[in-house]
Amino acid sequence: MRGTTVPPGTPCRTPRPGELPLHRLEVPAPHAPPFAVGTFDAIGPLSRADFPHRHTFYELVHVTGGTGAHVVDTARWPLRPPHLGVIAPGQVHQWAGVAGLTGHVVLFTDDFLLDHPADRELLRRLGERPWLRLDAHADAGVRRLIADLEEEFRGGGEGTESVLRALVHVLVVRAGRLLGTPRPAPAGALAAEFVRLAGHPEPGLWSVSAHAERLGVTPGHLTEAVKAATGRTAAQLLRETRIREAQRFLLRTDLTVRQVASRVGFADPAYFCRFFRRETGLSPGDFRRGGEKHHD
C-alpha cells in the first residue's frame, strides 16, 4: 500500500499539528516484501517506544519477559508474560514503565495479506482485544511459528515470500482461536476493501455514501456486500471507527473537543458530543478525564 513502507532510517512523521507520530515499516529495498520479524533489540528502539504513536502496519508482539504495561488505545494491559499482542494499523499504543522487555515482533502491511484477505477481518477483531495470555502449550506453539518465520526471513531462498505469508496466516488464525474468535466467512473483494478503508480512517471518509463513491458502487450495494461478508452493517462499522478515533485523540493528544470533532468528520461539536455520549455513555470531557481502562 502506498506510503506504508520506507527505507531504513527514515524519520517518523506527524501527519498534522497536534496529532500522533506515525511509524511506517522499514524495508531494505523498494520491492522487498512488506514484512519484518525479530527480537525487540533487532527491530530497534521504536519497537519498545514509550510514547503514544500509531503504525501503517500490523504488529504482532510475543512478549516472553518483562514488567510494566502495554497501552493500546484506551486500555492498559499489565505485563505478565507470556503474551501475544495484536496491534492493527491506526491503533495508538505505547509501552509504559517497562523494564526487562524480551520477545519478538512480527511486522507486516495490509498488502502482505494478499493471499488471505479474510485475515483482515480477523485481525480487526483481534485488535479490539489485543492482549492475549498464553498457557504453556500456546506459548510453545507461538515460539515455534515465530522461530520458523525468523529462519525463513533471515535465510531467504526461492519461494520465501510465499512461505512467510503462509506462516503469518497460521499465526493469525491461531491467535483467533486463543481469543475464541470465529473465523470470518471469506469476504468478497468489495467488502474486504471497505473493511480495509474503514480500518484506516481518512479525512472525508466518514459515511457509507463516501465509501461507496470511493469504491464506485451504490451505497445500497455496498451495504449488502458488507453485511453478507461480515454479519455487520457498513454504518455500524463506521460508527465504531469514528468512536475509536475520537477516543484516541481525546486520550493521546491535547486537541480540543471541537478539534477532535472536526478530525472525525463532525462540523457541529454539539452534535459530536451527543453522538459520543450515545455510543459510549460518557461525554467527551468525562471520557478524557476518566483515562485508560486497566485490565488484569
Pair 219, 208: CB distance under 8 Å? yes
Q: How far apart are the first and last CA of the chain?
A: 36
Positive or negative, the CA dihedral 248, 74, 173, 154 is positive
Cα Rg, the chain, nearest whole Å: 19
> What pLDDT does residue 124 have?
85
Residue 18 is predicted with a pLDDT of: 73
- pLDDT value at residue 1: 46
35 forms beta bridges with: 108
- DSSP string spanning the chain? -TTSEE-TTPPPB-SSTTS--EE-EE-SSTTS-SEEEEEHHHH-GGGG--S-EEESSEEEEEEEEEEEEEEETTEEEE--SSEEEEE-TT-EEEEEEEEEEEEEEEEE-GGGGTT-TTHHHHHHHHHHS-EEE--HHHHHHHHHHHHHHHHHHHH--TTHHHHHHHHHHHHHHHHHHHHTPPPPPPPPHHHHHHHHHHHS--TT--SHHHHHHHHTS-HHHHHHHHHHHHSS-HHHHHHHHHHHHHHHHHHHS---HHHHHHHTT-S-HHHHHHHHHHHHSS-HHHHHHH--EE--
pLDDT score, position 186: 57
In this prediction, residue 180 carries a pLDDT of: 75
Task: Classify the phi-psi angles of 177: left when phi > 0, otherwise alpha if psi is within -120 to 50, otherwise beta.
Answer: alpha
Q: Is 198:206 a contact under the CB 8 Å cutoff?
A: no
Return the CATH architecture of domain 189-294.
Orthogonal Bundle (1.10)
Nearest to 273 by CA among 257, 289, 259, 256: 257
- Please answer whether residues 50 and 39 qualify as being in contact, where contact means their C-beta atoms are separated by less than 8 angstroms: no
What CA–CA distance (Å, rounded) separates 262 from 227?
A: 28
Here the contacts of 223-227 (C-beta below 8 Å, separation 24 or greater) are: 225/188, 225/190, 225/191, 225/194, 226/191, 226/194, 226/195
Give the up-direction half-sphere exposure of residue 66: CA atoms within 13 A in the CB hemisphere. Answer: 24
Rounded Cα gap, residues 187 and 225, in angstroms: 8
CATH 2.60.120.280 is held by the domain 18-23+30-179: yes
75 touches 293 (CB < 8 A) = yes
Give the pLDDT score at 2.
Answer: 56
Taking the chain (296 residues) in runs of 10, the rounded mean pLDDT of each run is 73 72 86 92 93 94 97 93 94 95 96 85 87 94 97 91 95 89 63 84 86 88 89 91 92 93 94 95 92 71
pLDDT score recorded for residue 151: 96
- What's residue 135's pLDDT? 93
The CA distance from 36 to 43, in Å, is: 8
Angle, helices 269-280 vs 234-252, to 10°: value is 100
Whole-angstrom distance, CA of residue 262 vs CA of residue 113? 32
The whole-number pLDDT of residue 83 equals 95
Every domain of the chain and the residues it spans: 18-23+30-179, 189-294
